[in-house]
Structure 1
């Protein structure tokens, strides 16, 4: 009789032990939820509200759009980085103008990009020499496909400087 109760007791104790180990909570774990409507990033323990108009958690180089824009006669080269539904375009013009992009050319570039990716809602174009250099650098960093500390903040700062009216 004792032998049967000991044999029965061992599986019961094992089940209770395993059930007790299943009470792990991930308190303090970094779990995030992104709310696109209000541009909020929520942590389990804390809530962060972002006032940045550029949520750059999905920056990518759009090489297809770059090729399409470079096919325009007025454009020597183009660097395009998309962030959500926005495209940021740095162009080197054939005439060497770094002061601005003429309105008709800006419209052609916008049409090319939107034809290439229908999800793009806003296109920001600049021929500013500093912007071209920065965008080329960001492009190279993104193409390495390694996490780069501070890239998002640096990119946002550059965008705010080059396109201050576009908030």
Structure 2
């Protein structure tokens, strides 16, 4: 009889341990998913190389330039139903061939409580929002390289063509963005853009914000920012890794 009582007690204790373990795992999984939704990026630096479309990740011909997306698309078959949603390639929602700044939307988002600054980029089918949250100093929080390594139509190594290694850049810092604000901004941006824009990605990662700032500065100085297209595509894949599959 005593053995049976002990056995039942151990069985109950085992079930409790299993339940606690499962709840902890679920909580950890939810937090990870939330961070990715907020544009927190790849957590492990050693995974960054998996998100590059090509190992020749720069624009300098002397270093082995990547194939331009426009050239790649010229060799692909166009869909017969142009009115349908056109995924930019079969595995990657982020691969874009154009982008433009949308100050009319940025100025609206600047007024939201908790938002210190906003930059909005519109691509073929997506909108990307870079936010500075109140209390954050992106100039000091971001890596210094975010405001360096220029690319022009004549060449330039960009962020990912240096010999410093890609792991130096932290794309996983959420920057104080909350899930509720991210969802609110997503809805507002969708309401303010053309129907072709079907997805909105929001991040307050300091490095992402600072590089978008750099693009804006280049555009203001008359630089053709289309030269940054390959770099932009690679950066986006790292900041929003849960919505693409480019492992080649």
TM-score norm. by structure 1 comes to: 0.64
Determine the C-alpha separation between the residues in 1 that align with 2:221 and 2:111. Answer: 25
Higher relative contact order (CA 8 A, sep 6+): 2
1:64 offset after TM fit, Å? 0.7
Residue 198 (structure 2) pairs with residue 121 (structure 1): yes
Structure showing greater Rg = 1
Determine the C-alpha separation between the residues in 2 that align with 1:75 and 1:134. Answer: 18
* Alignment-derived partner of residue 118 in structure 2: 78
1:140 offset after TM fit, Å? 2.6
Q: Which of 48-57 and 93-102 deviates more?
A: 48-57
More strand by share: 1
Residue 181 (structure 2) pairs with residue 141 (structure 1): no
Secondary structure at the counterpart of residue 73 of structure 2: strand
* Alignment-derived partner of residue 69 in structure 1: 109
Superposed CA RMSD: 2.6
Secondary structure at the counterpart of residue 115 of structure 1: helix
Q: Structure 1 residues 166, 52: closer, same or farther in 2, change over 3 A?
A: closer
Secondary structure at the counterpart of residue 60 of structure 1: strand
More helix by share: 2
Determine the C-alpha separation between the residues in 1 that align with 2:100 and 2:221. Answer: 11
* Alignment-derived partner of residue 7 in structure 1: none
1:129 offset after TM fit, Å? 0.6
The 8 Å contact of residues 81 and 139 in structure 1, kept in 2 or not, is answered as no
* Alignment-derived partner of residue 31 in structure 1: none
Query: Gaps (5+ residues) in structure 1?
Result: 1-33, 35-39
TM-score norm. by structure 2 comes to: 0.45
